[in-house]
Amino acid sequence: MGGGTYSVANSVARSATYGSLSIGDIFTQTTMNNAMNPYGIKVRESRDSEEHPNSLAIILGLDVTGSMGSIPHYLIKEGLIGMMGTILQRGIADPQVLFLGIGDHECDTSPLQVAQFESSDELLDKWLKDVYLEGGGGGNYGESYALAWYFAAQHTSIDCFEKRQQKGFLFTVGDEPCLKKTPQIFLKNLMGEGQFQNYEHVELLDKAREKYHVYHLHIKQTASGSRQEVIDSWKQLMNDNVIIVDDYHNIDKVIAEIILKNTEKIEGPDIKVDIETKPGTEVKITTEDTEIIL
């Protein structure tokens, strides 16, 4: 996958049709789309091609429980355009994006949904709209963000890393703690045939980090997200690679900035990105060697 190009102009025109549409008007799936069912998936691929000779794999794992349905809604209306437009304008010519829908493997019927790596605006919109906003979760103090790390580590093959030793990017976005255990029997039921084992979340994070820059964007503006103990749990788990975001309308800007700051060492000249935030909003961005307060 990954063919086609991203047209900002076409995306802007398409987003105008979303205008005043509600979440329910755009995201119409009432169960998981079969095309996004992870069962039986061996690998999702991000590949170089004549059209895209320097592919860069980007995974966006979106929490689709509870109030987090507002994140895909924002992305499809304007956020995805901002993110893609910024990184394309700043010299990353061949981004390939894969969406994951993340739920709660202890409570939900669809705790992981998997799209394909895509480059075209039309297909990215298509996969994002196909995400099932289950709106579940439970009272178990956490969501299954570690499933994004598991899938990225075990079920993706990316040319940027395999050919050029350039890590891809993996972002999870949500407002809950990360569930600590992923049982072997659950993974077998989720994925089908294969070699499975019991995992701690730290193990899966370390595996994903072998070929991805891994970040978590913690949305602070919800009741759960504002709890200090939740923020502290992420800081303990991911140190500087957890980004505390007060307003989810800034996630596209944060993601673009992180990608640019981590690729400028490979791509060449210094890159400067202007990020506009809403008045009174503070966004802290910490990459592997840079900290920015907005």
pLDDT by residue (tens digit) across 22-76?
A: 999 999 999 999 999 999 999 999 999 999 999 999 999 999 998 798 999 999 9
Location of structure tokens 């979340």: 201
The pLDDT value given to residue 6: 94
What is the rounded average pLDDT of the residues 81-103?
Answer: 96
The domains found in the chain, sorted by start residue, are 8-293 (3.40.50.410)
Q: Is the pTM of this model over 0.85?
A: yes
User: Which residue intervals of the chain are DSSP H helices?
Assistant: 8-18, 23-26, 70-74, 80-89, 121-129, 146-155, 159-164, 184-191, 201-208, 228-238, 251-267
pLDDT by residue (tens digit) across 284-294?
A: 444 443 333 33
268 Cβ contact partners less than 8 Å away, ≥ 6 residues apart: 91
Among 213, 147, 149, 144, CA closest to 177: 144
Q: Please, which residues bridge with residue 216 across strands?
A: 172, 242
Q: Supply 90's token pair.
A: 């700043």
Rg of the chain's alpha carbons, rounded to an integer? 18
Q: Which of 14-18, 168-172, 193-197 has the highest mean pLDDT?
A: 168-172
The pLDDT value given to residue 136: 87
Does the pLDDT of residue 265 top 90, yes or no? no
Among 203, 207, 185, CA closest to 194: 185
Compute, in degrees rounded to 10, the torsion defined by CA atoms 187, 153, 145, 97. Answer: -120
| CB 260 within 8 Å of CB 213 | no
